[in-house]
């Protein structure tokens, strides 16, 4: 089945530093989605990428979809304490199942 791997698993940064999480798939993806889950909260849909090489920005967040559509990244510029949480990527359904990545837990040190 589809494997979606995320690295790193944990990341601690000083406030103001940049942060990047990577998502890698063993198969070509038709699209990829990103979600954020705050501690004690629920996942929140951030964005969906569809096109090869696509880059989308949401304020300080930059999302990229690789040319081969097998990997994706989320980059946060100048992190703030409000960025704390776990960031998940998710591939399109395999059959009817959605596979979420293992997540990257971001801690921002003030």
Partner 1 sequence: NAGVMQNPRHLVRRRGQEARLRCSPMKGHSHVYWYRQLPEEGLKFMVYLQKENIIDESGMPKERFSAEFPKEGPSILRIQQVVRGDSAAYFCASSPPTFLGQYFGPGTRLTVL
β-bridge pairing 104-109 and 10-14:
parallel
- Give the separation between CA 41 and CA 32, rounded to whole angstroms: 22
List the one residue from 21, 91, 101, 106 that touches partner 1 (CB under 8 A).
Answer: 101
Whose Cβ is closer to partner 1: residue 17's or residue 97's? Answer: 97
Is residue 30 at the binding interface for partner 1, with CB under 8 A as the rule?
no
Query: How many chain residues touch partner 1 (CB under 8 A)?
Result: 20
List the one residue from 41, 51, 67, 78 that touches partner 1 (CB under 8 A).
Answer: 41
3-state percent breakdown (helix, strand, coil) of the chain, nearest 5 = 5, 55, 45
Q: Which of residues 43-62 bind partner 1 (CB under 8 A)?
A: 43-45, 48
Residues contacting 6, CB < 8 A, separation 6+: 21, 22, 23, 24, 88, 89, 101, 102, 103, 104
Whose Cβ is closer to partner 1: residue 89's or residue 108's? Answer: 89
Q: How far is the CB of 102 from partner 1 (least distance, A)?
A: 5
CB 52 within 8 A of CB 67: yes
Interface residue list for partner 1 (CB under 8 A): 33, 35, 41-45, 48, 88, 90, 95-103, 105
């Amino acid at each position: 089945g589809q494997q979606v791997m995320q690295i790193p698993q944990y990341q601690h940064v000083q406030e103001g530093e940049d942060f990047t999480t990577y998502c890698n798939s063993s198969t070509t993806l038709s699209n990829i989605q990103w979600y954020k889950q705050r501690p004690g909260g629920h996942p929140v849909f951030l964005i969906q990428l569809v096109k090869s090489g696509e880059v989308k920005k949401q304020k300080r967040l930059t999302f990229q979809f690789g040319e081969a559509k097998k990997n994706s990244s989320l980059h946060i510029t100048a992190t703030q304490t409000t960025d704390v949480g776990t960031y998940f990527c998710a591939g399109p359904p395999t059959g009817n199942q959605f596979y979420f990545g293992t997540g990257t837990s971001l801690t921002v040190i003030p």
